Chains A and B, each alone.
Chain A
Amino acid sequence: MDPYALKTLNAERRARRAAILVTDLGDGRDRIVREGDQVAGELGTAIARAFRSGNSGSVEAEGRTFFLNAHLPQPRLVVIGAVHISQALAPMARIAGYPLEIIDPRTAFATPDRFPDVVLHAEWPEDVLKRQPLDSYTALAAVTHDPKIDDFALKAGLDANCFYVGALGSRKTHAKRVERLLALGASAEQIARIHAPIGLDIGAASPAEIAVAILAQTISAFRSRVLDASASRVQVDARPSVGVVA
């Protein structure tokens, strides 16, 4: 492996950006391809597929055998609101492979006692997200019901192109939220990306059931996410069928 390729790859991984190490198994030469880099021909098609699926593997192209090692950032979930729903969501998301963090400036809610073993920030989203920005491999769920806390984070999630943005609240609540987000400078197209009311429609009633609906919608969004890398915004073609809509 080329030392420069290893350094570049590790830098991309540390920065939570997707990258693929392409190795020619014939002569051992390798190079890093970043999401959005244009690669022509059969190899380019295989690289695009690997970015979407995250799967590594060998590919025959141009009469040679290449190994594509896909390094996609771990998807994660940032929840605004240390509420009852979040208490159920935290362990479920961890099990599903979506490490979760909770932000809530209300210190009565954001207590380690209510959230054992959860990364918890008892601060305003403005302060936390300045330090630790959102990105396209992060899902954002705003569940405080309080515009003072939710709105900034929602706008930040849209601007950072989070793969999922969901907001708790009825349609009526959301209509008011849309007006506030427009006033904050969000575009109508951005706002249309917000899942509200939040969660897959499984008829969830209890906080734990709503947590299931949010997690399922997050997974669905990740597996069907649109890559903005290519000019022609390709939809993931490997979307598994979902058969749990009740």
Chain B
Amino acid sequence: MSDSIYLDEARDPLIIAEGWMKEGKDVAIATVVETWGSAPRPVGSHLVIDADGNFHGSVSGGCVEGAVVTEAMDVIGSGKARMMEFGVADETAWQVGLSCGGRIKVYVERLG
């Protein structure tokens, strides 16, 4: 059956990352590796980012994507993977947070 039934290729983060790679772009892949409480995106969800800051997919409901994209720029530069943890928004402890009250752990790595 047509590809679109199986994979929504135009919006699939891992397909997009592969496409960017083939175009010669530097790419970072962020993955939700752990969640506690109510988290908007399940474990295994991806956000993919290119060196220009373009991104597809999501690791939260939009609460922490900005911070992950910023971190991804460093990861693309250094090649060193990072683990990021986000919790409830708290002005003293967190610049960004999850308004839903959950916590998530996001692994950010460079492709290649």
Q: Does B37 contact A (CB under 8 A)?
A: no
* B43 adjacent to A56 (CB under 8 Å): yes
User: Inside 8 A of A69's CB, which chain B residues have their CB?
Assistant: 31, 44
Distance from A81 Cβ to chain B, minimum over Cβ atoms (Å): 18
User: Inside 8 A of A9's CB, which chain B residues have their CB?
Assistant: 14
Question: Using a CB–CB distance below 8 Å, which chain B residues touch chain A?
Answer: 1, 3, 5-7, 14-15, 17-18, 21, 29, 31, 33-34, 42-44, 81, 83, 107, 109-112
- A3–B7 Cα gap in the complex (Å)? 20
- A73–B111 Cα gap in the complex (Å)? 23
- A132–B42 Cα gap in the complex (Å)? 31
Q: Interface residues of B: mostly helix, strand, loop or mixed?
A: mixed
> Given contacts A1-B109, A6-B14, A56-B43, are A67 and B31 in contact (CB under 8 A)?
yes
User: Inside 8 A of B29's CB, which chain A residues have their CB?
Assistant: 1, 6
The segment from A10-18, A107-115, A169-177, A200-208 that touches chain B is: A10-18
Distance from B7 Cβ to chain A, minimum over Cβ atoms (Å): 6
* A2 adjacent to B112 (CB under 8 Å): yes
Q: Does A44 contact B (CB under 8 A)?
A: no
Q: Which residue of B lies closest to A132 (CB)?
A: B1
- A76–B1 Cα gap in the complex (Å)? 11
* A3 adjacent to B33 (CB under 8 Å): no
* B21 adjacent to A3 (CB under 8 Å): yes
* A3 adjacent to B44 (CB under 8 Å): no
What interface size band does chain A fall in?
Answer: 20 to 34
* B1 adjacent to A28 (CB under 8 Å): no
Distance from A13 Cβ to chain B, minimum over Cβ atoms (Å): 6
User: Inside 8 A of A28's CB, which chain B residues have their CB?
Assistant: 81, 109
User: Inside 8 A of B34's CB, which chain A residues have their CB?
Assistant: 57-58
- A74–B3 Cα gap in the complex (Å)? 12
- A73–B6 Cα gap in the complex (Å)? 8
Question: Using a CB–CB distance below 8 Å, which chain A residues touch chain B?
Answer: 1-3, 6-7, 9-10, 13-14, 16, 23, 25, 28, 55-58, 67, 69-70, 73-74, 76, 99, 101, 119, 132
* B111 adjacent to A1 (CB under 8 Å): yes
Which single member of A1, A10, A99 contacts B5 (CB below 8 Å)? Answer: A99
Q: Which residue of A lies closest to B28 (CB)?
A: A1
Q: Which among B1, B17, B81, B107 has the greatest number of chain A C-beta atoms within 10 A? A: B1
Q: Which among A9, A28, A73, A74 has the greatest number of chain B C-beta atoms within 10 A? A: A28
* A70 adjacent to B44 (CB under 8 Å): yes
- A57–B42 Cα gap in the complex (Å)? 10
- A57–B29 Cα gap in the complex (Å)? 17
> Given contacts A58-B33, A73-B6, are A25 and B43 in contact (CB under 8 A)?
no
User: Inside 8 A of A10's CB, which chain B residues have their CB?
Assistant: 14-15, 18
